[in-house]
Structure formats: C-alpha cells, structure tokens
Structure 1
Amino acid sequence: MTAVTAFKVLTAGQMAALETGSFDGAPVDLADGYIHLSTFEQLTETVDKHFAGQDDLHVAEVDLDALGEAVKWEPSRGGQLFPHVYGPLPLNVVVAYGPLHRDDAGQVRRPVTG
C-alpha cells in the first residue's frame, strides 16, 4: 500500500532545522497554529503564490499516515482541501527531501532524496 503524502516548502534555514530532528513551523505556520502542507497537485501553485522570487527553497515529502490524527484536511485556497499538521513535523515522517526543482513545463518536481 502506498503512503498518502503531502509536501512542505522550506527555506534553507528551515530545512536545516528539520534535519536536526523536528520542525515546529515557518512564521506563517506558527501564526496560524498549524503547519501548512500541499498535495502534489497543489504544490506548484503554492510555490508560485507564496514563495515567488525566493531562491534556495527545498521540498519535503511527508508521510501523512505516519502523523495520524495530527493531520486535518481543511478548506483553503479556492475551497480546496489542504493537509494541515497540528504539532511539530518530525524528520522520521519525511520520506524524501531536496532542493526545489522544476520540470520543463515549470511544474515543481517531487524530491528524490531522503
């Protein structure tokens, strides 16, 4: 059975914090009370809307099943359901991560390392 995953876009500093074992959230996450994630289908729009013009970004692919009840699917942009994590994001639920790369069509690629 394939795990249900979602994605967190991180700055280099945030990625370094996650690599130490756990990530409590970006400033927007801390202000909202949960960690914002996106499905793969939502990822490129999230990057384009919230990270435009930023360099040195990273993407972490998160196993939502491993987070259990900490994950809530809630409506956000355009009424779409987004996965939100209520609590810290531990490194052991990250199945892949790496620098943000786009394909030839401009879509954000899945991370391939972990």
Structure 2
Amino acid sequence: MHATIYKITPEALWREAEATGRFTGAPIDLADGFIHFSTRDQAIETASRHFAGQENLLLVAVDASTLGEKLVFEPSRGGALFPHLYAEMPLSAVKWVKPLPLGSDGGHVFPDMET
C-alpha cells in the first residue's frame, strides 16, 4: 500500500474545505461517487491529462493509512490501480498542502513530494 497519496485540487475548493472542516471532493468526484487520488508516480500524468493549463492548483499529500477500508485501489488509466476514497476525506489525514504552479513550458511544476 502507498503510504502517501495525492489530490490535485483548485485552491478555492481547498480553502472552502479548510473553512468548513471537510473535503467532499471536486465536481468530478461528486459525479463519480468517490474522491479521485493519485500515487506519487501517477500525479504528474494526472495533472497533464486532467488539469492542463490550469492555474491556482494545490497538491495535497494525504496519509493513506488513516483512510481505512473506504480507500480502494481500482483499475483506471491503462489498468493502473488508482486510489479512490468512498467517503469524505478527513482533513486530519492531510500531511501537507503545496502550490502546483504552471511552469514556462505550460506544464505543472511539482514540489518535492518526499517531505
């Protein structure tokens, strides 16, 4: 199991979650019935596929071990197993939140994901 999983989210949506004390997901999460996450190795492709050219994004690192049985790794892109959370995400599971700015090449510049 992956110790840390990642959520890419618009900053405004995350600030709303911080203000209300709960993260229920982005519109795509609500439509699909679960919160989409990526592993470290999947996050860059997720950003380029689903968030291309978007500014004001945050990368949220989450301690997967705190999410319990509602976190399920399921096949998605090309059969890879992606973490899906079938519940609200408790803010207590968050390890850190860092900006995910666009670089001069138009791709997102990822922070150090080890810390």
**Fold conserved between structures, TM > 0.5:** yes
The amino acid across from 1:99 in the alignment is P
Deviation at 1:44, TM superposition (A): 0.4
The percent of aligned pairs where both chains have the same amino acid is: 45
Helix, strand or coil: the match of 1:23?
coil
User: What is residue 74 of structure 2 aligned with on the other side?
Assistant: 74
What TM-score do you get using the length of structure 1 for normalisation?
0.86
How far off is 1:70 after superposition?
1.2
How far the C-alpha of 1:99 sits from its partner, in A, is 0.6
Do the aligned partners of 1:8 and 1:38 also contact (CA within 8 Å) in 2? yes
1:98–1:112 CA contact under 8 A, matched in 2: no
Figure out how many residues of one structure are paired with residues of the other and give that number: 111
Deviations 1:58-96 (A, max 9, x none): 010011110111100000001000000011111100011
Q: 1:27 to 1:87 in 2, by over 3 A?
A: same
Q: CA RMSD in A?
A: 2.4
Task: Please say if 1:10 is aligned against 2:12.
Answer: no
Q: Could you tell me whether the CA contact under 8 Å between 1:18 and 1:90 is conserved in 2?
A: no
Residues 54/102 of structure 1: CA separation in 2 closer, same or farther (3 Å cut): closer
TM-score by length of 2: 0.86
- Unpaired stretches in structure 2, ≥5 consecutive residues: none
Output the amino acid matched with 2:53: G
Gaps of 5+ in 1: none
